Amino acid sequence: MRNIFILLISVFVVLTGCQKGNIVVIETEYGTMKARLYDATPQHRDNFIKLAKEGYYDSLLFHRCMTNFMIQGGDPDSKNAKPGQRLGMGDPGYTIPAEFVDTLYHIKGALAAARTPNPEKASSGSQFYIVQGRPYNEETIGKLETQMGKPMTNHRREAYLEHGGYPFLDGEYTVFGQVFEGLEVIDKITMQPVDGASRPKTDIRMKVRIE
């Protein structure tokens, strides 16, 4: 089943506009994740590649980890953060305009840009999150559609039925990549004990490179 799931993710990545190259490797003590960056979101793609090549992300923390939701990192203030220090406001001093693509969803493993509450929904220049979410079936999709007040498109419905995720963020935050290897790492990280701000009690550092 695991191999079938990985194959489905790979097919989804290809069909949603992610070409060869642009491979992001995120190493943690709980394993390594590989993601492809979407060509359909070029500003986010190019910015992430630039920062990764500069070593910007190396030794930063996954500072916010929430079960059935996501893991978040990329705050430069986290590199030398003291235990219990609140994080999540650091950035490189700029934002990136939103790049919403109707066929890119917050399925499990989606790589997306964090942001502050701003009217343009512009993304943080460095902070990102990776979706864990939850599984969906026809019944839970139906309840979700009732909650949203409108039906999903067939493409979106099939994506969440196959992969699970967190559809409430669609159209609110820019999805710019997809983890295709190491999805189990997300699950391992969200299992770690956290404090009241969802920061892991034991630091979880990352090392990021482009393949």
The two structure tokens encoding residue 142:
């139906």
Per-residue pLDDT band at 2 (split at 50, 70, 90): very low
**Predicted confidence (pLDDT) at residue 195 exceeds the cutoff of 70:** yes
**Structure-token match 């979706």, residue found:** 131
CB 210 within 8 A of CB 49: yes
The 10s digit of each residue's pLDDT in 99-134 is 999 999 999 999 999 999 999 999 999 999 999 999
Report the run of H or E that residue 14 belongs to, with start and end: helix 2-15
pLDDT of residue 148: 86
Q: Are 71 and 189 in contact (CB under 8 A)?
A: yes
Buried b / exposed e over 115-140, threshold 16 CB at 10 Å, is: beeeeebbbbbbbbbbbbbeebeeee
Q: What is the pLDDT of residue 9?
A: 52
Which residues, in sequence order, are CB contacts of 68 under 8 Å at separation 6+? 132, 133, 134, 190
Phi, psi (deg, nearest 5) at residue 117: -70, 100
User: Which of the residue ranges 20-29, 82-91, 104-113, 120-129 would you say has the lowest mean pLDDT?
Assistant: 20-29
Query: Cα–Cα distance between 7 and 179 in angstroms, integer?
Result: 12
pLDDT of residue 4: 47
106 burial (CB, 10 Å; 0-12 / 13-18 / 19+) is buried
Q: Please report the pLDDT score of residue 16 as a whole number.
A: 47
- Locate all alpha helices (DSSP H) within 60-151, ordered by sequence: 138-148
Instruction: Give the end-to-end CA distance of the chain in Å, rounded to a whole number.
Output: 27
pLDDT in tens, 150-194: 999 999 999 999 999 999 999 999 999 999 999 999 999 999 999
Residues 92, 23, 41, 88: is their CA dihedral positive or negative? negative
pLDDT at residue 35 is higher than 50: yes
Whole-number pLDDT of residue 20: 52
Least confident of 1-15, 53-67, 74-88: 1-15
Predicted structure pTM score: 0.90
Could you give the number of structural domains in the chain? Answer: 1
- Average pLDDT over the chain, rounded to an integer: 92
Q: What is the CATH number of the domain that holds 105?
A: 2.40.100.10
State residue 80 phi and psi, 5-degree precision: -120, 30
Helix axes 154-163, 2-15, angle to 10 degrees: 150
**How far is it, in rounded angstroms, from Cα 79 to Cα 81?**
6
Could you list the residue range(s) of the whole structural domain that residue 78 is in?
2-210
